[in-house]
Amino acid sequence: MGFSTKAIHEGNEPDPTTGAVTVPIYQTSTYAQEGLGKHKGFEYARTQNPTRLALERNIAALEGAKFGYAFASGMAAIDATLRLVHAGDHVIVSDNTYGGTFRLFTRILSNYGIEFSFVDTSDAGNVEAAIKENTRMVFLETPTNPVMIISDLQAVSDVAHARGARVVCDNTFMSPYLQRPMEFGVDIVVHSTTKYLNGHSDGVGGVAVLSDEKDAEWLAFVQNSAGAILSPFDSWLVLRGTKTLAVRMEQHDKSGRAVAAFLEEHPKVEKIYYPGSLSHRQHDLAKRQQKGFGGMVAFDVGTLERARIVLETVRLCTLAESLGGVETLISHPATMTHASVLAETRQRIGITDGLVRVSVGLEDTEDIIADLDQALDGI
Ligand SMILES: *Cc1c(COP(=O)(O)O)cnc(C)c1O
């Protein structure tokens, strides 16, 4: 079965009692039982909900995983996944990871005896060098936000597995349509469904998918015990979103290429960060492990003043955090998403005051480019 067929049908069987083609929103907290210990597999809605179950089966199928668990946010999915390691264990993390992930690991989980090393995972050799006796997990994000650093999923998986560590990949930026990390050996894939999977900027959610039975059992136990579950309505929204994931990602990718090409040629743009560009140092690796380059493009106009002009004179693009929705969003990483990152770290990885990030939406490509063009004219 092809990707779109799976996206539309996996988990989405017509409702057995009414024939409804769309999985209903099972807005219930509990389920009537026929007798003591006799029920239809559903007892209490923190533990099981049919709408959430449909979504979990759907995303697991899209990533090529056996099991899926949906959570109240991307961060809740990542937090639950980290419950696979224990006090005394060591975790290696991509050093340019999502700010919320960095905050969760360094400010909260490190208080519970879990040790984190942040390394440049774009070189698998750095991962190998950082592995210790107690390393139990390698947590990757690729491409990273907003400077699009790529990690070699196969090479890192090989290095980690040789030393008995699991590999987790945050696949939020690519979606399973453009990148399926498990095909390169990754053990667990996490997503903020808030972004491309939902795709319409109208819900917050997260998911973790995997195939190892023992780890899956533990994740299900954590999901039920800690209870950070995705609601039936939000599950339904994401389930609706994934049905059109393939066509949406095709268009995000197409417009992303056009916007990047326009920016790369523009005299006011000093540098672009886009894996589809031949100037990207990991362009070949991106081509090898991704089906496309997605809709995220970052560019540097040199100074805060210039960035401010662009950000404040766009008319179609919306100044906002987040990404992956139908509308084009524009943001300033240094003062918005990455404000909590140390200034010297920001400088080292290229998050300068002149950097602008665009999440290319699904408006007509010419309109997006015309808007950026008139905004850049103001410089
Ligand atoms: C947004 C995001 C998250 C966090 O997801 P929430 O749904 O906001 O909790 C994690 N990783 C990446 C790459 C993200 O973009």
Instruction: Note the CATH architecture for domain 3-243.
Output: 3-Layer(aba) Sandwich (3.40)
Beta carbons of 185 and 153 less than 8 angstroms apart? yes
Mean pLDDT, range 1-27, rounded to an integer: 96
Ligand 1: atom nearest CA of 204 is 7
Give catalytic residues, as residue numbers.
46, 98, 170, 195
pLDDT digits (tens, 9 = 90+) for 242-262: 999 999 999 999 999 999 999
Q: Is the CB of 81 under 6 A from ligand 1?
A: no
Distance CA 373, CA 346 (A): 27
Q: Is the CB of 73 under 6 A from ligand 1?
A: yes
Q: Above 90 in pLDDT, residue 343? A: no
Domain ranges of the chain: 3-243, 246-376
Fold of 246-376: Aspartate Aminotransferase, domain 1 (3.90.1150)
What strands, in cross-sheet order, belong to the sheet with 188-192?
Answer: 67-71, 206-210, 188-192, 166-170, 135-141, 90-94, 115-119
Among protein residues, the one whose CA lies closest to atom 8 of ligand 1:
74
pLDDT digits (tens, 9 = 90+) for 286-340: 999 999 999 999 999 999 999 999 999 999 999 999 999 999 999 999 999 888 7
Provide DSSP, 269-336: --EEE-TTSTTSTTHHHHHHH-SS--SEEEEE-SSHHHHHHHHHH-SSSEE-S---SSS-EEE-TTTT
CB atoms within 10 A of CB 218: 14
Best residue among 172, 190, 198, 231 to mutate for probing ligand 1, ranked by most atoms within 8 Å of CB: 172
Give the pLDDT band (50/70/90) at residue 175. Answer: very high
Q: Give me ligand 1 centre to Cα 308, in Å.
A: 25
Distance CA 250, CA 285 (A): 20
Q: Above 90 in pLDDT, residue 344? A: no
Q: Is the CB of 100 under 6 A from ligand 1?
A: yes
